[in-house]
């Protein structure tokens, strides 16, 4: 094929888009190894050795191998680091993807959709660039009851409900094939304290995240299921979803 050419739910307004915050963090930070995340282990089963793969908005934490993979992000420091590791990087947001139709076997969007105001448009863009029967790995926060000031500081517009997720995916021509719902919540007081430190001491916050919070999060094993989606999300704070582009969409 050659090189690809370059809602209704409870929501809140972020205090501001934290682009400068992320750029400050990513400038001095090292690119994280994709193998520390449990995503590629699951997703690699659905992509051929020569299949194109895309990740949206990963910053310096890619969930797929960098060499030969396509990345879109708004952070110049992150894009530069991904390119240094063999990634094919483009400056763009998730609302308008600079690629031709039906060109990727898999797309990853983890901790991104909640940052996009028009999430339905973003998912439709993902479906557009996915090949028929291609797969999206989507990671998002769930449960507005867990909303804190931290969500606002890092630029979230919302946390999701099971109903809203199903509505968005169906609207983009995507169907849930399996999911892994889990709970990582440190309480409102801890979350608000994290918000305080990340706005005033961003570099220290990133160091603390890597040393203490990230290892704890990575110890959370993803248990995949294809049933009881609504029930499993009732007490969850986060979910990863493997969705497939429906043929004919």
Distance CA 186, CA 174 (A): 32
Which tokens is 152 given? 């606002």
Distance CA 143, CA 132 (A): 31
**Mean of pLDDT values over 30-45:** 89
Is pLDDT at 11 greater than 60 in this prediction? no
Q: Across the chain, what does the average pLDDT equal?
A: 85
pLDDT of residue 155: 86
Whether 169 and 176 have beta carbons less than 8 Å apart is answered as: yes
Is pLDDT at 32 greater than 60 in this prediction? yes
Confidence class of residue 4 from pLDDT cuts 50, 70 and 90?
low
Q: Which position has the higher pLDDT, 18 or 117?
A: 117
Is pLDDT at 158 greater than 70 in this prediction? yes
Distance CA 147, CA 141 (A): 10
Q: Please, what's the b/e burial string for 202-241 (b: 16 or more CB within 10 A of its CB; e: otherwise)?
A: beebbeebeeeeeeeeeeeeeeeeeeebeebbeebbbbbb
Is pLDDT at 3 greater than 70 in this prediction? no
Backbone angles phi, psi at 190, to 5 degrees: -65, -40
Q: pLDDT tens digits, residue range 172-220?
A: 999 999 999 998 766 667 677 776 666 776 666 666 666 656 655 555 5
Q: What is the pTM of this model?
A: 0.85
Confidence class of residue 24 from pLDDT cuts 50, 70 and 90?
low
Q: Are strands 88-91 and 70-73 parallel, antiparallel or unpaired?
A: parallel
Q: pLDDT tens digits, residue range 49-100?
A: 889 999 999 999 999 999 999 999 999 999 999 999 999 999 998 889 999 9
Distance CA 86, CA 215 (A): 26
- Domains of the chain in start order, with CATH, are 19-245 (3.40.50.150)
Distance CA 28, CA 25 (A): 6
Confidence class of residue 152 from pLDDT cuts 50, 70 and 90?
confident
Express as a percent the part of the chain with pLDDT over 90. Answer: 60
């Amino acid at each position: 094929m050659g090189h690809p050419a370059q809602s209704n739910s409870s929501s809140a307004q972020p205090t501001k888009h934290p682009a400068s915050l992320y750029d400050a963090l990513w400038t001095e930070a090292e690119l994280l190894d994709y193998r520390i995340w449990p995503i590629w282990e699951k997703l690699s089963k659905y992509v051929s050795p020569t299949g194109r793969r895309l990740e949206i908005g990963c910053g310096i934490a890619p969930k797929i191998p960098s060499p030969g993979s396509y990345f879109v992000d708004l952070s110049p420091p992150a894009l530069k680091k991904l390119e240094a590791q063999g990634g094919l990087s483009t400056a763009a947001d998730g609302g308008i993807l600079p690629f031709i139709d039906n060109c990727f076997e898999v797309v990853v969007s983890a901790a991104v959709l909640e940052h996009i105001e028009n999430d339905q448009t973003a998912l439709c863009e993902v479906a557009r660039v996915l090949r028929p029967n291609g797969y999206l790995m989507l990671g998002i926060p769930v449960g507005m009851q867990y909303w804190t000031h931290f969500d606002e500081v890092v630029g979230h517009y919302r946390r999701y409900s099971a109903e809203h997720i199903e509505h968005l995916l169906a609207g983009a021509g995507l169907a849930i094939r399996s999911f892994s719902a889990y709970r990582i919540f440190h309480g409102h007081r801890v979350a608000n304290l994290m918000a305080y430190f990340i706005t005033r001491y961003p570099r220290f916050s990133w160091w603390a995240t890597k040393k203490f919070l990230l290892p704890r999060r990575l110890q959370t094993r993803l248990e995949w299921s294809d049933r009881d989606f609504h029930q499993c999300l009732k007490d969850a704070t986060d979910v990863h979803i493997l969705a497939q582009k429906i043929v004919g969409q």
